[in-house]
Structure 1
Amino acid sequence: MGTIAIITEDPGWHGARLREALAAHGYGYRYVSLTACRLNLESGGLPVILPGFEDRLPDGVFVRGVPGGSLDQVVFYLDVLHALKLLGITVYNDGRAIERTVDKAMTSFLLQRAGILTPPTWVLGSRDEALELAERELRAGHQLVSKPLFGSQGQGLQRYEKPDDLARLSDTNGVFYLQRFVGCGEQSHDFRVFVIRGKTVAAMRRCGVSWLNNVAQGARCEPVRLDDLLLCRLAEDAVKVLDMDYAGVDIIRDHHGRYSVLEVNSIPAWKGLQSVSKVSIADLLVEDFLSLCQPESREEIRVR
């Protein structure tokens, strides 16, 4: 029986669903924290040590969480994922995909460069320039949202509707990420579209109790049929540009009916989406993941 490393700090509901799906395919699992991994760059041993895999590398690595920390720590955690992939281990999503999407500035840059519809966005380090830009946007009748470059679940977002609001213009560690606010009518809502191997498998409408539509912020989940080809195609195109195995794509529709991509998540939660979906998202993820794990195609690496 093969054994999979599930990278996570807190297995919770998602870890349990992955564990059950792996067991249905005859695979064992171990939960692994990147904080407990190490590189062992001496001859005669495994070059990457994961707790529970001291004698043999896992048959695959499913990434459910990358811990925060200093720049040095985060780079090291990603180094572990990069090294595993270079050793022929399937890493899902891999370090490069996570790097492209955990950083909202690079995500926005790559989407805009590829012609994917996304709200106008500015990333800069000068408070004076950020204020000047924000004042210009407000004078033009637009509203703005500031976001931390690294963050999820709607935490740290601020909305600016009028000039007086700019007194609390927020940066994160000296960087301003500003995005034009997209209004969608009286009831605040957006869409979460789940894409696996380039195809949409599930989607939901998230209706916020405030202007934030994240499930973690109390949004209500409603099912969405997959016959909205514009919605599905936009999500799939965004995931293709970012070269990801799977993703949760956040899309908003303005009052004119035009869709644009807000964010692309490389380690998406799906508990809320599963509550309104008929398909088992964990089963679909594991089936796709295991189809990429082909131990016979790589040289087995053991401690010698």
Structure 2
Amino acid sequence: MSDILVICRSYTHHVKALEKSLSRNNMQVTIATPKEINVEINTEGVSYYINGIIFFPSIVIGWLSLEKTREAKSIREWGLWLLKTMELEGIKVINTFETFNVGQNKLLNSIMLTKHCIPHIPTELVSDMQFLQKTIEVLNLPVVVKPVIGSKSHDVQRVDDLKELEQICNSYFSKNLPVYIQKYIEKPGRDIRVTVINHKAISAQYRSVDHSGFLTKKNNGALITKCHINEELGKLSEKCSKVFNAPFAGIDLLEDEEGTYRVIEVNIAPALLDPDEDILNAIVVYLKEELISLRKE
């Protein structure tokens, strides 16, 4: 039996670094994509197989990041099914099926933040052109348009022009999709990502704007620098992690014109390597504690 199974969408360098770090600390770890896992269900119960070998891990880590392609979306959904089946079998799962479902849906993400009085950004989910007019009156231009399900800033746009916004919305509506629209908040040329492990803020980084002056993702050319985690930033990030029941979380924030932190969203499958080894070390400590606790039961 393997101590830990990591179910990932693909073998990224983040996953490989996690595998190396866990193995170096004497934990038996298996990495698998959903396509490599088979499930047998009969009167004797449920069994899981990888490469024809039955296994029953102590802990399952879901690392199912979002991607734009149809194949990647299918693999992610497949992985979520597996996480749920393992939860039902009593296996410890981090992060859970429910955590992924809420955290990777921007609408549900916004509602969770607002419900728990976490400073967020005024948001509207628009389903028709009539409501779009009301949305413009409430949020004013410019606005930020995002897909409800998406990552790495794919299809995220700042929109300043009404005609352009109407065209974008019509494109969504023609595909039977709603439009997730947020108020544009002036910020000091940067966002903040805080990585939280076991509900503790471990590492933070500033992500300065790319050449467009808007997007702040590393894959869009943003500059990444270290950010000090002060008490306010740490407590806010840790609260987000607890609200989403996400022991592994990346909290994306911005500072508005008054210097107030606003949470943009909670990322359920955050990057592991940037800016240093602190994140991986915190994961090792957390999983060691979990394994010891499980063996005492």
Q: Deviations over 1:129-167 (max 9, x none)?
A: 1244135532xxx42111111111111101112323324
Structure 2: how far apart are the matches of 1:53 and 1:265? 34
Question: Which structure is higher in strand share?
Answer: 2
Cα 1:207–1:37 change in 2 (3 A) is same
Match of 1:55, SS state, is: strand
Root mean square deviation of aligned Cα: 2.5
Q: Find the counterpart in structure 1 of residue 82 from structure 2.
A: 80
Q: Find the counterpart in structure 2 of residue 282 from structure 1.
A: 280
Structure 2: how far apart are the matches of 1:173 and 1:199? 40
Q: Find the counterpart in structure 2 of residue 302 from structure 1.
A: none
Between the two proteins, what is the percent identity of the paired residues?
Answer: 23
Amino acid at match of 2:164: D
In structure 1, which of residues 289, 292, 295 is the aligned counterpart of residue 290 of structure 2?
292
Structure 1 portions without partners, runs of 5+: 299-304
Q: Find the counterpart in structure 1 of residue 43 from structure 2.
A: 43
Q: Deviations over 1:190-219 (max 9, x none)?
A: 100011122111101100213011112111
Q: TM-score, normalised by structure 1?
A: 0.85
Q: Find the counterpart in structure 2 of residue 32 from structure 1.
A: 32
Q: Find the counterpart in structure 1 of residue 149 from structure 2.
A: 150
Q: Find the counterpart in structure 2 of residue 190 from structure 1.
A: 191
Match of 1:193, SS state, is: strand
Structure 2 portions without partners, runs of 5+: none
Measured after TM superposition, the shift of residue 59 of structure 1 is 2.6
* Higher mean displacement: 102-111 or 287-296: 287-296
Q: Deviations over 1:53-76 (max 9, x none)?
A: 732212321222257759987655
Structure 1: how far apart are the matches of 2:159 and 2:20? 44
1:144–1:178 CA contact under 8 A, matched in 2:
yes
Amino acid at match of 2:115: R
Q: How does 1:162-177 map to 2 (within 5 A)?
A: 162-170=161-169, 171=172, 173-177=176-180
Cα 1:241–1:295 change in 2 (3 A) is closer
Amino acid at match of 1:57: F
Q: Deviations over 1:89-137 (max 9, x none)?
A: 2222111111110111111001101110000011232243124413553
Cα 1:202–1:67 change in 2 (3 A) is closer
Q: Find the counterpart in structure 2 of residue 54 from structure 1.
A: 53
Cα 1:75–1:6 change in 2 (3 A) is closer
1:48–1:83 CA contact under 8 A, matched in 2:
no
Structure 1: how far apart are the matches of 2:271 and 2:287? 16
Task: Give the number of aligned pairs.
Answer: 287
Measured after TM superposition, the shift of residue 297 of structure 1 is 5.4
Cα 1:193–1:52 change in 2 (3 A) is same
Q: TM-score, normalised by structure 2?
A: 0.87
Cα 1:295–1:238 change in 2 (3 A) is closer
Measured after TM superposition, the shift of residue 256 of structure 1 is 1.4
* Higher mean displacement: 100-109 or 36-45: 36-45
Q: How does 1:218-229 map to 2 (within 5 A)?
A: 218-226=221-229, 228-229=230-231
Q: How does 1:175-214 map to 2 (within 5 A)?
A: 175-185=178-188, 188-209=189-210, 210=212, 211-214=214-217
